[in-house]
Chains A and B, each alone.
Chain A
Amino acid sequence: MLERVSTWIFRHRLPLVGFFVVVTVIMAVFASRLRVDASFNKSLPLDHPYIRTFTKYQSEFGGANRVLIALMAKNGDIFTPDFFKQLRKVTDETSFLPAVDRAQVQSLFTPNVRYIEVIEDGFTGGNVIPADFTPNAANFARVRENILKSGKLGQLVANDFSGAIVSAQLLEIDPATGRKIDYARVAAGLEAIRQQVGQESKGAITVHIIGFAKVIGDISDGARGVLVLFGVSICITALLVWNYAGRWKLAAAPVVCSLVAVVWQLGGLTALGYSVDPFSILVPFLVFAIGVSHGVQKISMFRNEMFKGHDGPTAARSAFMQLIVPGVVALMTDTVGFITMFVIKIQVIRELALIASLGVSVIVVTNFLLLPIMLSYLRLPPSYGAWVAKRRARMDGYWARLAKGMRPRPSMVIMLVCFALGAWGYWKAEQVRIGDTQAGVPELRPNSRYNRDTRIITSKFSIGVDILSVIVETVPNGCVNYDVVTLMDQFEGAIRTVPGVQSVISLPSMAKLVNAGYSEGSLKWRILLRNPSALAQAVSPIETATGLLNGDASVMPIMIFLTDHKAETLRGVTDAVKAFAASHPSPQARFLLASDNAGVMAATNEVVAAAQRPILLWVFGAVIALCLITFRSLRATLCIVVPLVIVSWLAYALMVYLGIGLKISTLPVVALGVGVGVDYGIYLFASLQSSLKRGEFLEDAMFQAFKDTGAAIVFTGLTLGAGVSMWIFSDLKFQADMGLLLTFMFLVNMLGAIVLLPAMARWLFHHHCRKD
């Protein structure tokens, strides 16, 4: 059967090459239309009850899609003619950004920002910057006074008057074009404003921008930047292959093949209507690295056949025949790692798993069809054989020393050291934190422009960026139902005492403020009035645009501002919310978790914490089953799996040391590392076992196994490491974290396979050893 297939393939070499060229060109055209989509809906655990609440009310209250543009005076305060000129200009330009709701733009210059003053017979008020404003000292003093009266200090003006904010609300449908909001265009417009102010003020005014649109813009840019890193990693890999193969022609074959696989994969994605997100954009790296490392084995086999005196086509065909079964099996073990990721009920992870599996199946096609065909056209000079032999002799020296070194005593030392490391890793691994610890947007680096802007704005203004909203489902017109608003007020009182809660904003708390305002601003009147018409009067100024109630006031979110989004903080708040809801059952009001960024994080943390153990059980279960089936030996399985377990614990310990939390991006790392890392042990042990079966002593079998597979294992580890280590330089924090951890897993698993595995085998297969 295999014979017939290979005969057919090599008989139709030319048409097949033509077929590959045509398909690759088509796929390249598709791939060039690839979209980078940074929308975060895919990264939500849609099954989670919090997220069900979130998605249910997203269209109603997701409207709080704000952008804040802060102008900061480098020296002194905002009361200079230049600053006011720039602030006015930025206010105007912000109004004309795409998708901006012009009526909702707020700054000191917009007419919707007013001050109100209590006088003897009621209220008086006006614009903070009067219509007849001219920049002079007296007018600046007046504006300063008005800012204090407007209550916008801390909101639109920095608490120390060193800056001012222009706030804009973005609409899901751009009113100018009638189309869905294009975040890239909004983000570009915001950057243009930043540039212009910087130039015109000659650096005296700096601009800091935060908001969902900017996050999306920066993440898309970061994800695109990864493509440059992809280029670098291709070059490094090509150099590694060249070093291994010794000839450019030979080295080019697996690299070109793997690139073809990547083009097919990306083209296939576009053709199937997918777009890549910041997660799946990493898959081409992996696919490329896996493709090259497997391709190299084919080179190795091919040149062995060549040296036996076969011509190109025969050698290629023979290599194909010998490698198709173990190669496909090895690629399947990689897929095991990907498939276990389906345990996590988050679409972005599942798509990552799916796309990676797709990539691996493309590799099967390119590596077992295209690569042998390409190799069959190669002619290798006789001098090449000598070069390979010389090099092999040098390598064999190292391997012989390593195999000889595995005497009882040193191997015991190696085992003890590794087990001690494993125990230490296990103890440390318990301290891995769930979720994010860094301030700002966790997807971006702590010192990224966006997160620096966030720090400046949160330190200079009274603006919180970590918000968890509780949605209160109540009766129509619940906002004027005294029992409902009082219960919400009690809820607020209970939540305010939870550690990590900075402030709470809700309809009742706003209504209390309004009521005090009606009572000359006296704090003693910050209450909810029992009289329905008086309550209605206090509630009526609160518009739906505040996001605190829906059209018929049957749903009212309570916004909880947190000091940070650490997992413990989120846990404390969600527990307190659940406890309050349980102890205050009401037919009129249900308190539902959760919305806004911290609400989504709380849900994600819960999902990640719940998936942590299952994903490890699945991946190790699969690997153990695979080893048991392949080798039918418990000892062999132990030799292969124990190093993997130790390295996994060490990876967790590394996370603890680097302050990397367990989250959507880092959860699959161990599964990937184990799924791909098990290959090393399988190659080595397959060779070892076949020698032992022939009745050889362990020492000789070990040396033979190292000679056969050692170089390929080291090479595979280096290629995979080179592929993923480039992610470390990504602008996106989670890609860098993944890259670091995967590089660690790939390289240290390789070391585990060539150091710990033989040491363990020395003891577990004691009965095969030479008797001294």
Chain B
Amino acid sequence: MNLSAHVRPALLALLTASAVQAGLVAPRMLLLDGAVVGRNLIVVGERGTILRSTDDAHSWQAATVPAASTLTAVSFAHGSTQGWAVGHDALILVTHDAGLTWQKQWQGANLTDSFLSVLALDARHVLAVGAYGLFVATDDGGKTWVRRKVLEEDYHLNRLSQGPSGHLYLAGEHGTLLRSTDLGAIWQRIDSPYDGSFYGILPLDAHTLVAHGLRGRIYTSVNDGSTWILVPNEQHALIATAVKLPDGAVLFAGQSRAWFIGRGDAKSVSPWPAPFATAVAQLLALPDGSILALGEAGAVLLPKP
């Protein structure tokens, strides 16, 4: 009797384990962006890959995706199960169940258009940007997407971000830095300290910003972008992503082996021992304080820095 009490759960566990095992996917493909949705993690990448983890990035399942285009970015409305993934082939996908299943919501007429970043402000308001000044927005949860120009030049728009004050920031090619104080209706140019490409603006608080980009460039601003200070950095590698750690430090990554850590609002940076040797597209801070690196090596969980 004692035995069967032990054996039955063990058998059940064995059976269910093999059933679950079948749906598991090794996160070894090129992954480009990710998002935390409640207790779930969603990551997107090459060939229409969308993976979902419910155990803090330890195991992954493939979501059902009706497309094979490379997806470059994903964003969820705060506190909602509604999310958007965008990518090449002018594609926008939507999910209503926290990333389990995805539907095609919009696709531009010109398939050579590429989205590079998406930002869901809430369940109705979403912005997406991309190559050659591509900018589309919706204010009805994606029923209609409106395309417009926020920049005279056809520069790549690389990343949208939002600060704690509610201000929006947009970083792009040829020193492009934009700011919107009205949730994306009007975009003002920020005086740029650099004419190379920026890959993102990371707001640390209402006034403090960190901009990063080509050739190891890192700039900080303490006045919401009015003036910028160059942070000295000897290694001239692309910095594609930055993330704020729980202790206030900022971790930068991008080209292979280009890892830096910035202390004191990133006023100075120092090389950080690279945990692996391949390039990174996105760093993601997980609720438990660990960092997930997404890139060439797929999804790699870093130990808490």
Alpha-carbon distance between A690 and B47 when the two chains are bound, in angstroms: 79
Cross-chain contact B197 with A521 (CB below 8 angstroms): no
Knowing A523-B30, A523-B240, the reply to whether A497 touches B88 (Cβ < 8 A) is no
Whole-angstrom distance between the Cβ of A504 and the nearest chain B Cβ: 11
Residues on B with C-beta less than 8 A from A527 are 46, 70, 88, 114
Stretch of A117-125, A132-140, A292-300, A650-658 lying at the B interface: A117-125
Residue B261 interfacial (CB < 8 Å) = no
Residue A52 interfacial (CB < 8 Å) = no
Cross-chain contact A120 with B196 (CB below 8 angstroms): yes
Whole-angstrom distance between the Cβ of B245 and the nearest chain A Cβ: 22
Residue A148 interfacial (CB < 8 Å) = yes
Tell me which of B29, B196, B214, B257 contacts A496 (CB under 8 A). Answer: B29
Residue A529 interfacial (CB < 8 Å) = yes
Residue B72 interfacial (CB < 8 Å) = yes
Tell me which of A118, A159, A490 contacts B214 (CB under 8 A). Answer: A118
Tell me which of B25, B30, B240 contacts A497 (CB under 8 A). Answer: B25
Cross-chain contact B277 with A159 (CB below 8 angstroms): yes
Tell me which of B112, B214, B277, B296 contacts A523 (CB under 8 A). Answer: B296
Whole-angstrom distance between the Cβ of B24 and the nearest chain A Cβ: 11
Knowing A120-B214, A496-B29, the reply to whether A520 touches B238 (Cβ < 8 A) is yes
Whole-angstrom distance between the Cβ of B157 and the nearest chain A Cβ: 12
Can you list 18 A-B pairs with a CB-CB distance of less than 8 A?
A117-B236, A118-B238, A120-B196, A148-B257, A153-B277, A493-B47, A496-B28, A520-B197, A520-B238, A521-B255, A522-B199, A523-B30, A523-B280, A523-B296, A524-B70, A524-B72, A526-B30, A527-B114
Residue B279 interfacial (CB < 8 Å) = yes
Residue A596 interfacial (CB < 8 Å) = no
Residues on B with C-beta less than 8 A from A497 are 25-26, 28
Cross-chain contact A523 with B26 (CB below 8 angstroms): no
Whole-angstrom distance between the Cβ of A627 and the nearest chain B Cβ: 50
Residues on A with C-beta less than 8 A from B171 are none
Whole-angstrom distance between the Cβ of B44 and the nearest chain A Cβ: 11
Question: Would you list which residues of chain B between 56 and 90 have a CB under 8 Å from chain A?
Answer: 68, 70, 72, 88-89
Cross-chain contact A530 with B215 (CB below 8 angstroms): no
Residues on B with C-beta less than 8 A from A526 are 30, 46, 70
Q: In the complex, which residue of chain A has the Cβ closest to the Cβ of B28?
A: A496
Interface string of B236-278 (1 = CB under 8 A from A): 1010100000000000000111000000000000000000010
Residues on B with C-beta less than 8 A from A153 are 277
A-B residue pair count with CB separations less than 8 angstroms: 61
Tell me the dominant secondary structure on chain B's binding face.
Answer: loop
Whole-angstrom distance between the Cβ of B118 and the nearest chain A Cβ: 12
Whole-angstrom distance between the Cβ of B66 and the nearest chain A Cβ: 15
Alpha-carbon distance between A97 and B159 when the two chains are bound, in angstroms: 53
Alpha-carbon distance between A520 and B174 when the two chains are bound, in angstroms: 12
Residue B195 interfacial (CB < 8 Å) = yes
10 tightest Cβ-Cβ pairs between the two chains A and B: A120-B196, A523-B281, A493-B47, A524-B72, A527-B70, A521-B238, A530-B112, A527-B88, A531-B112, A524-B116
Residue A489 interfacial (CB < 8 Å) = yes
Cross-chain contact A118 with B112 (CB below 8 angstroms): no
Knowing A118-B214, A119-B215, A148-B257, the reply to whether A489 touches B238 (Cβ < 8 A) is no
- Given contacts A526-B30, A527-B70, list 20 more A-B pairs with CB under 8 A: A118-B215, A120-B214, A148-B256, A148-B257, A154-B277, A489-B47, A493-B47, A520-B238, A521-B279, A522-B240, A522-B281, A523-B240, A523-B279, A523-B281, A523-B295, A523-B296, A524-B70, A526-B70, A530-B111, A531-B112
Cross-chain contact B70 with A120 (CB below 8 angstroms): no
Residue B32 interfacial (CB < 8 Å) = yes
Residues on B with C-beta less than 8 A from A117 are 236
Alpha-carbon distance between A346 and B269 when the two chains are bound, in angstroms: 64
Q: In the complex, which residue of chain A has the Cβ closest to the Cβ of B281?
A: A523
Residues on A with C-beta less than 8 A from B111 are 530
Residues on A with C-beta less than 8 A from B238 are 118, 520-522
Residues on B with C-beta less than 8 A from A118 are 214-215, 238
